[in-house]
Structure 1
Amino acid sequence: MARPQAALGAVTFAALGLAFGYAIASAYLTTRFGGSLERIDFLFLVRSFGVLRERAPAEFLTAVAILGGGLVLGLGVSGLAANEALTRFGLTHWQTRAELRRNGFLGRPGRGFLLGKLGGARSRAPFLVSTTFPHALLVAPTGRGKGVGFVIPNLLTFKGSVVVLDVKAENFRETSRHRKAMGDRVIRFAPADWSGRPTHRYNPLSRIAELSNPDQQMMELRLTAGLFLQADSERVAGLLQGGINLFVAAGMLALERGRPTLGEIYRIAAGGGDKQKAYARLALEVKNPAARLLFESLASINPDTLTSYLSLLMTSGLDTWANSAIDAATAHCDVLFRELRRSPHAVYLEVAPEMIRPLAPLLRLFFSDLIASLQAHEPGPDEPWPVMILLDEFDRLGRMPIVAESIKTLRSYGAHLALVTQTIPALDEIYGENTRLSLQGGAGVKLYLTPSDPKTIAELSAAVGRTTRRVVSKSRPLGPSPLKSRTLSERTEDAPLLSEDQARTMSLDDVVLVIDAQCPIRAKRIKYYEDPVLRALHAAQSGDLPYPDPATARLDGRVTTVEQQIAALTGSVARLTADRSSPASSPEPAPAAPVSGDPTGQGAANDPDGAVSTGGRLVASARRSQVRQAVRTGPSALLEPTLLTPADVPRLREATSRLSDLLNTPAPATPSDRSDQDRPAETPEHGDASESIRLV
């Protein structure tokens, strides 16, 4: 109903209610003062108004109450007439402040994502904070202020560890000093910073090198390959599996060489002219039987197929490590993901906008490895800190299956994940519509800043929901006469709460939040440099930006090298202990298996280590020879006393003592060993293991 007609109706019904109340009040006063209902004096109240108020206040107040009741009754009837029950459709509406409070969106900043605020940017209106839903999907075209309105406000307020893809280095510049003042350890990983500013380093293979089980190492290498190697077409997926086999074999050899880096894997895979001959030589070098079998299998493949394997392995992401700067930035590890829940960290992965595509394999690996590390186990009592992950330019990183698979379970591992994309079609192009819908379902909060492309506009309008609206039609007959009657008709219809036109023309300061199982929210965008609270936090920063100290970075790298060597030595001791504790399956040695490519069958003669195979195992004398040789060329050459910290010394002493005991303790004699018992004791060129590794 139009406003003039509604007002006229309200006045009419109010007057009728007042008249009805006056009649009842007159009847009451007539009977109260001795009159009869048959002869009601309707003018008594008007004529005696002042006298009644002074001399009969009780009766006067009763009469006034009756008059008021008639007025209220008239207005009530007017409201019912104006809102008569018509057909109802959708019931969606924007959440009220009471609903926001009840649904947990008016909590204190720091516990969840900061989404918007209920007032203008300069006001002190309450913030909207997602304390109920741990994940968010932000859809914001270029220039909509997702950095100043979402990323930076969350970096300034979140209490816990934060990991952010920092495009243009804006986030590090604007928030790193504040995070350091909060007590965070600030990590800046900038593998493609050509300006020469120092960077921390990240080596995804360092944790694999710490494992003592070769089978587990091989499995972890295969899983790591799946995290970042990505073919452009499903048709070549089979060829990529051949390339991954090469990656795994090269990775095992890199671990044995004591250089567990992706750069070393790249050099092993790409090195050599004739790949068949090169991989055959690598099969003789690698000690792990499964890796040797992979190299032998690759060496026997048709050259054209082998070239396809290698080419696809490179174009799928491994050729990123052809760049020496990327190789150096991933040669050591300053970022320990397992520490993020134990103490607060602020990790900034800096990359220039034009470098996102070239570095996409490394970026995918970094964040996929982070999520996989968090999902290794649920937080323990010593891991109280949540981890906020901000993935800007998510659609430009390529497909990350682990994100789509884990977004519904990350909450139990203490992780908060925010995915930032420019449009919905960009996600569909990478993941397909079904996976994109799964991502949206896993993100309990969808935050939209004024969309620009038609599909995102339609998606937003549909996601907000539909409501019921009244439609009034007015008609009048044709002709000049003003006395001809006009008619009004009213109906309800189903309509979107936010039409596509309204979504397209939405103010740039507005944000729309679509919440799972709740009505949508319309709020204002945050601008950290105008908000009183956030502006004060930002302005309080002082001092230099917390770039890593080059000297400290070098020292950390050397300590990391020592730790990796200690871990490798401990693993070697554990494997040797297990091998010696297992008795020989037969008292008689089995004939030595011929080495591939050795038609004479004299494999032992061609083995550079002089190893003799006994049923797939090394006899004791050959095993001791190999261990002594490894000690001479390995730790004695690489470990330096100045690289050790006090915490490393007990571990290295224990590992050295165990290795020395194993070398000096006689093994169960076998027929082949008995001939060695009469020989003079072999004196190592550089002394035994306990002398090779000197501790100061």
Structure 2
Amino acid sequence: MVWGKLFGGGRKDKPVDPDAGKSPVHLLLETLDPAWREAFKMVVSDPQLDAVYRDILYRNLTLGQIEEARTTLRQAIPMMTKANRDRIQHLGQAQAWASDDDLLRAGIFSPKGTAFPVDYLELGYMPRQRSNGEAVKLPVMFHGEGHLLTVAPTGSGKGQRFILRTLLEFEGPVVVLDPKGENYRETAWRRDLYGQVYKWAPGEDDSDCYNPLDRVKGWDDARLLAELLVVPQSKEPFWDDAARDLLTGLIFYVMHRRPRERRNMREVCRLLAASKADFDAMVEDLQGSDDERLQELGNIIETQSEALRTSITTTLRTQLAVWRSDDVAAVTSSSTPGWSVETILRRDNSWITQAAREGRAPGWYYDEEAGEVHGGRAASIYLIVSPEKMSSMRTVLRVMLGQHLSEAIRVRRMLDEENATDAELPKSYPNWPMTFYFDEMPQLGYMRIIEDAVAITRSYRIRLWLFTQDIAQLKEVYQKWESLIANCRCQVYFRPNDQSTAEHVANRLGKRKDLWGGEDWVASPQQLMGPEFREDCVIIQDGLTIRARMSKPSYADEDLKEWIIEQKGKFGEEIHRAPRSERVPVIDPDQEPEAGEPPPDASEPSTPEDADLKEDAEYQEELAALQARMRARRSGPPPKATKDDDEGGGKRPDSPSGASEPPRRPPTPPSFNE
């Protein structure tokens, strides 16, 4: 009878205040440190422990006699079950991790009965048991504004456990640095439902094309391109700055003084390798230009010593050597129709706002009555370069990623302003960010635009997910690496294999007092590097420290593989690519085009300067090689059918008979309250 009253078995009166009706034990538990609270519950519930220990421990804690409580606990531990003996030794550590209630309040768990947000990324899960004993997985999610950083060594499963899975589920526009091409092979079939797929892969016949100079509209754009092209190498900033200044002017010069078909990086490289006579002629042309900035560039070059000018141009030629390669020139001298960030984001915004007016979720959907799949407008861009070529292709990848990010910032700001003035739009509606996957990010070298974007773009619906192998790698490239980490709202660490990274994570987690009055790591560097955390990751998000179980690698997840087979069976796996940009410019207007060749472009008048350029033997030789390759490509298999391009998407053939609409999102997550 006494124990019944003591542990809540007595009569409960109708509560008249928050504490009314609570047993003395419940009131005590609310005042205890989390570690002691958990220890007391274990002592009370342990089936092997004599009741006298519960009574004595309760009296110790009620009187605030902590040392006596520790003595009682030490006496009780040998008689507890083995599971409780193991748990109680490290209670101070366990209580430092975020609880289920913490995650629910922060929106990292989805409440029971609610759908996943359209912009969510699943980072892992918490293994739990329902009251009926059923095992469930509670997804740990990231959604809303902000950026992510993942730190894990090469070969640890960043792609298999995080990138592939999120690309299959996240329906917003993405730009993916894909070092092995694995992301394209495993996810492009699915992202084809979400919108147009672009594949940029130098050396591959089916690669899309992207000309960086197509994005240069003025001097500032030329300056940004030059900054991305020049990888900082000198300890003395003068040399890098001088190289950027010269390159900015040459890019601007090419855009203003070259015919349209020669406005590309190959032409910029050609100017850097010009003969002395040709270089002097260019300087004279610059000084005679109507543009003041070109005049200034000509004057600066003329006043430089020949030795200084030679040093700068030699540095630039070395850094830009990869742009002269056939593989890179072939995919950067023109642009695939529709491939610009402004076009992509405008199409996506149009589709999202249309869905908002109609009161439906954005993205692709299946019309069951008509048997048609209506594709979304969120494009996916895969930049594929083999790992062994990452170093040599660094300047190209910097340009591709940097220009896309810069344009996304500009266009998102513009679209947000336009949407704010649209009276027909609801005040709030489902939307998603444009997400950039920067795999192996430090290998690109220092990029100021990444540092700036992480600090300023949270409200622009632009999300960066940065990946690095270890802290030392990040520290070597970014002087303000601590600020970069701090500006990432979510940081994911797993399987560190170097002491500095493990110590960094352990220090972030800190130390906690244990039951015995001492201090210990929440997770020591040795624990983080050992088998105890082999399948777990440490997530630091919104001020919470989370220990989450990682999903299985995609290749080992049987449930995921079955789902992929089912979805491919219902909706196919064909990737509807954009039309290739196959027009090959014919420079000489008097030359008869070969059979099957498109006519020369006559959109711009011929000038004496153009005529001189057409006599460039080197250019004619390159042109002939490009024409031969293009003829060979056209004589091959016919291209795949493309999407209808009404705002970037359209209807698709019916799925196999009997196919029903797949779940657009995962089912409602299990509740941890059950």
What is the TM-score of this pair, normalised by structure 2? 0.63
1:357 and 2:394 equivalent? no
Matching residue's letter, 2:575: P
**For the residues of structure 1 that align with 2:543 and 2:382, how far apart are their CA atoms?**
34
**For the residues of structure 2 that align with 1:285 and 1:541, how far apart are their CA atoms?**
61
> 1:135 is matched with which residue?
147
**For the residues of structure 2 that align with 1:288 and 1:269, how far apart are their CA atoms?**
21
Alignment of 1:311-326 (within 5 A): 311-315=314-318, 317-326=319-328
1:461 and 2:506 equivalent? yes
1:229 and 2:267 equivalent? no
Q: Secondary structure at the match of 1:306?
A: helix
Render the CA deviation track for 1:393-426: whole Å, top value 9, x for unaligned.
0111111111111213222111121101110000
> 2:125 is matched with which residue?
117
Alignment of 1:517-556 (within 5 A): 517-531=543-557, 534-539=560-565, 540-541=567-568, 546=575, 548=577, 552-554=580-582
- Mean alpha-carbon deviation: is it higher for 88-97 or for 304-313? 88-97
**Cα distance, 1:326–1:124 mapped onto 2, change above 3 Å:** farther
Do 2:60 and 2:66's aligned partners in 1 also have CA atoms closer than 8 Å?
no
Q: Secondary structure at the match of 1:94?
A: coil
**Cα distance, 1:280–1:128 mapped onto 2, change above 3 Å:** same
**For the residues of structure 2 that align with 1:159 and 1:463, how far apart are their CA atoms?**
33
Q: Secondary structure at the match of 1:118?
A: strand
Q: Secondary structure at the match of 1:541?
A: helix
Matching residue's letter, 1:448: Y
**For the residues of structure 1 that align with 2:294 and 2:397, how far apart are their CA atoms?**
28
Render the CA deviation track for 1:135-172: whole Å, top value 9, x for unaligned.
11101112211111000011001021111111110000
Match of 1:498 among 518, 523, 527: 523
Question: Per-residue deviation at 1:362?
Answer: 1.1
1:422 and 2:469 equivalent? yes
1:260 and 2:305 equivalent? no
**Cα distance, 1:19–1:495 mapped onto 2, change above 3 Å:** closer
Question: Per-residue deviation at 1:177?
Answer: 0.4
**For the residues of structure 2 that align with 1:218 and 1:460, how far apart are their CA atoms?**
43
**Cα distance, 1:288–1:353 mapped onto 2, change above 3 Å:** same
Q: Gaps spanning 5+ residues in structure 2: where?
A: 7-49, 68-90, 111-115, 129-133, 349-376, 421-430, 587-597, 610-674
**For the residues of structure 1 that align with 2:443 and 2:141, how far apart are their CA atoms?**
27
Do 1:124 and 1:532's aligned partners in 2 also have CA atoms closer than 8 Å?
no
> 2:538 is matched with which residue?
512
Larger Rg: 1
**Cα distance, 1:403–1:123 mapped onto 2, change above 3 Å:** farther
Task: Count matched residues.
Answer: 470
Question: Per-residue deviation at 1:331?
Answer: 1.1
Render the CA deviation track for 1:89-138: whole Å, top value 9, x for unaligned.
99961122222222111232752222111239x97512211124531110
Q: Secondary structure at the match of 1:520?
A: strand
Alignment of 1:237-636 (within 5 A): 237-255=237-255, 256-257=257-258, 258=260, 259-273=262-276, 277-283=280-286, 286-315=289-318, 317-334=319-336, 335-341=339-345, 342=348, 343-377=377-411, 378=413, 379-380=415-416, 385-432=432-479, 435-471=480-516, 492-505=517-530, 506-531=532-557, 534-539=560-565, 540-541=567-568, 546=575, 548=577, 552-554=580-582
**Cα distance, 1:545–1:246 mapped onto 2, change above 3 Å:** farther
**For the residues of structure 2 that align with 1:80 and 1:115, how far apart are their CA atoms?**
44
**Cα distance, 1:19–1:99 mapped onto 2, change above 3 Å:** closer
**For the residues of structure 1 that align with 2:501 and 2:452, how far apart are their CA atoms?**
23
Do 2:197 and 2:379's aligned partners in 1 also have CA atoms closer than 8 Å?
yes
Q: State the percentage of identical aligned residues.
A: 23
Matching residue's letter, 2:499: P
Do 1:175 and 1:538's aligned partners in 2 also have CA atoms closer than 8 Å?
no
Render the CA deviation track for 1:315-348: whole Å, top value 9, x for unaligned.
3x32221213212211112321113332301110
Alignment of 1:48-59 (within 5 A): none
> 2:208 is matched with which residue?
200
Render the CA deviation track for 1:505-527: whole Å, top value 9, x for unaligned.
14321111122422333333343
Question: Per-residue deviation at 1:290?
Answer: 2.5
**For the residues of structure 2 that align with 1:536 and 1:286, how far apart are their CA atoms?**
64
Matching residue's letter, 1:345: A
**For the residues of structure 2 that align with 1:396 and 1:19, how far apart are their CA atoms?**
65
Question: Per-residue deviation at 1:437?
Answer: 0.8
Render the CA deviation track for 1:478-532: whole Å, top value 9, x for unaligned.
xxxxxxxxxxxxxx01222111221121432111112242233333334334556
**For the residues of structure 2 that align with 1:291 and 1:168, how far apart are their CA atoms?**
41
Do 2:119 and 2:144's aligned partners in 1 also have CA atoms closer than 8 Å?
no
**For the residues of structure 2 that align with 1:470 and 1:144, how far apart are their CA atoms?**
35
**For the residues of structure 2 that align with 1:126 and 1:91, how far apart are their CA atoms?**
18
Q: Secondary structure at the match of 2:554?
A: coil
> 1:53 is matched with which residue?
none
**For the residues of structure 2 that align with 1:134 and 1:557, how far apart are their CA atoms?**
44
> 1:476 is matched with which residue?
none
**Cα distance, 1:535–1:140 mapped onto 2, change above 3 Å:** same
Q: Secondary structure at the match of 1:310?
A: helix
Do 1:332 and 1:557's aligned partners in 2 also have CA atoms closer than 8 Å?
no
**Cα distance, 1:330–1:86 mapped onto 2, change above 3 Å:** farther
Do 1:253 and 1:286's aligned partners in 2 also have CA atoms closer than 8 Å?
no
- Cα RMSD of the aligned pairs, angstroms, is 3.8
**For the residues of structure 1 that align with 2:526 and 2:602, how far apart are their CA atoms?**
64
> 2:41 is matched with which residue?
none
Question: Per-residue deviation at 1:544?
Answer: 5.8
> 1:93 is matched with which residue?
96
Q: Secondary structure at the match of 2:212?
A: coil
**For the residues of structure 2 that align with 1:451 and 1:324, how far apart are their CA atoms?**
40
Do 2:538 and 2:545's aligned partners in 1 also have CA atoms closer than 8 Å?
no
Matching residue's letter, 2:322: T
**For the residues of structure 1 that align with 2:4 and 2:289, how far apart are their CA atoms?**
105
> 2:17 is matched with which residue?
none
Do 2:229 and 2:399's aligned partners in 1 also have CA atoms closer than 8 Å?
yes
Do 2:442 and 2:477's aligned partners in 1 also have CA atoms closer than 8 Å?
yes
Do 1:91 and 1:467's aligned partners in 2 also have CA atoms closer than 8 Å?
no
**For the residues of structure 2 that align with 1:110 and 1:336, how far apart are their CA atoms?**
24
Q: Gaps spanning 5+ residues in structure 1: where?
A: 1-13, 22-70, 212-216, 472-491, 570-606, 610-696
**For the residues of structure 1 that align with 2:316 and 2:434, how far apart are their CA atoms?**
33
> 1:190 is matched with which residue?
201
Question: Per-residue deviation at 1:284?
Answer: 6.4
**For the residues of structure 1 that align with 2:167 and 2:56, how far apart are their CA atoms?**
55
**Cα distance, 1:521–1:339 mapped onto 2, change above 3 Å:** farther
Render the CA deviation track for 1:651-685: whole Å, top value 9, x for unaligned.
xxxxxxxxxxxxxxxxxxxxxxxxxxxxxxxxxxx
Which structure carries more relative contact order (alpha carbon 8 Å, separation 6+)?
Answer: 2
Match of 1:148 among 142, 153, 160: 160
Alignment of 1:619-658 (within 5 A): none
Do 1:135 and 1:443's aligned partners in 2 also have CA atoms closer than 8 Å?
yes
**For the residues of structure 2 that align with 1:119 and 1:20, how far apart are their CA atoms?**
35
Do 1:141 and 1:451's aligned partners in 2 also have CA atoms closer than 8 Å?
yes
Render the CA deviation track for 1:284-330: whole Å, top value 9, x for unaligned.
67553421331243134211111011122233x32221213212211
**For the residues of structure 2 that align with 1:467 and 1:557, how far apart are their CA atoms?**
69
Q: Secondary structure at the match of 1:126?
A: strand
